[in-house]
Amino acid sequence: MISRKRFRAPATNAESFEIVSEAGLLPADALPVYRSMARFRNRIVHMYDEVDDSQVYEILQARLGDIRDFVRSIVSIC
């Protein structure tokens, strides 16, 4: 989306949410949640041996709504 809309290039994965939010395409009040998602994604990908199973369980039990909200936002943009 950032490339297609020719927004500035993000320096980090988390910054991509800021760029899209600055363009008015994602709600700014959700940025802390999206940044947290990006950080957790990086931990899973790069430091998977250090990921706490209880944290993964907590996310799956209590935070799936955040992921659904993000997906809805992206679908509405595209």
The pTM (predicted TM-score) of the whole model is 0.73
Query: pLDDT at position 10, please?
Result: 94
| 76 pLDDT above the threshold of 90 | no
Give the count of alpha carbons within 13 A of 57, CB side only: 3
Query: pLDDT at position 20, please?
Result: 92
Query: pLDDT at position 37, please?
Result: 87
Q: What is the 3-state secondary structure (H, E, C) of 15-50?
A: HHHHHHHHCCCCCHHHHHHHHHHHHHHHHHHHCHHH
List, for residues 29-71, the tens digit of each pLDDT value: 999 999 988 888 888 889 878 888 998 899 889 998 998 998 9
Query: pLDDT at position 77, please?
Result: 79
List C-alpha distances in Å: 55 to 12, 28, 58, 72: 23, 25, 5, 24
Contact 56, 28 (CB under 8 A): no
| 75 pLDDT above the threshold of 80 | yes
